[in-house]
Amino acid sequence: MDHKALIEAALDARRRSYSPYSGYRVGAAILCGDGTIVTGTNIENASYGATVCAERCAVFSAVASGKRDFSAIAIVGGSGSENDRTDDYAFPCGICRQVLREFADPASFLVIVAKSPDDHREYTLQQLLPESFGPDNLSEKENNDENQAV
């Protein structure tokens, strides 16, 4: 999977952003281990704190459809009205980094922030969330939890 296809999927998801309050439209596309792409967009709320970011929307949608093996996420965000590019590199917020950490291998999972399919930067999750707290810290509980079975 080349990055361009993943960024294009994120740009397409961004078209469906519901962001009447901030006007900042974000799209995300997560690449699953089986080669499929699951997308998400930011969904705002009149009660501002109920807003969900595009990245978490994508992760939660993927997990709800039975996928937990992820290798990369592309993120596009900005206030501009163009649909094929953005005016900003939209880095994932701290909460979204932590949600990605739950399912991703920090050393190999790629976070691709893009303005367009031809203009992107990439980082490992480890670079964006060093010294993180994750499932391994609770491994005893994990091993005892029947809900971990897919």
From 44, 55, 102, 142, active-site residue: 55
Q: Which is closer to ligand THU, CB of 23 or CB of 33?
A: 23
Residue type, 81: S
Tokens found for residue 141 = 């509980």
- Residue 55 annotated among the catalytic residues of the structure: yes
For residue 79, state whether it binds ligand THU (rule: CB under 6 A).
Answer: no
The secondary structure of 44-77 as a DSSP string is --SSGGG-B-HHHHHHHHHHHTT---EEEEEEEE
* Contact (Cβ atoms closer than 8 angstroms) between residue 112 and residue 72: yes
Which residues are paired to 70 by β-bridges? 32
* Largest interatomic CA distance in the chain: 49
Taking CB under 6 A as the criterion, the residue among 30, 55, 101, 129 binding ligand THU is 55
For residue 132, state whether it binds ligand THU (rule: CB under 6 A).
Answer: no
**Minimum distance of ligand THU from residue 129's CB (angstroms):** 13
For residue 124, state whether it binds ligand THU (rule: CB under 6 A).
Answer: no
Task: Pick the stretch among 59-67, 88-96, 116-124, 136-144 that binds ligand THU (CB under 6 A).
Answer: 88-96
Size of the site for ligand THU (CB under 6 A): 13
**Minimum distance of ligand THU from residue 49's CB (angstroms):** 11
Task: Pick the stretch among 50-58, 81-89, 102-110, 134-142 that binds ligand THU (CB under 6 A).
Answer: 50-58
Residue 98, Cβ density class (10 Å: 0-12 exposed, 13-18 middle, ≥19 buried) = middle
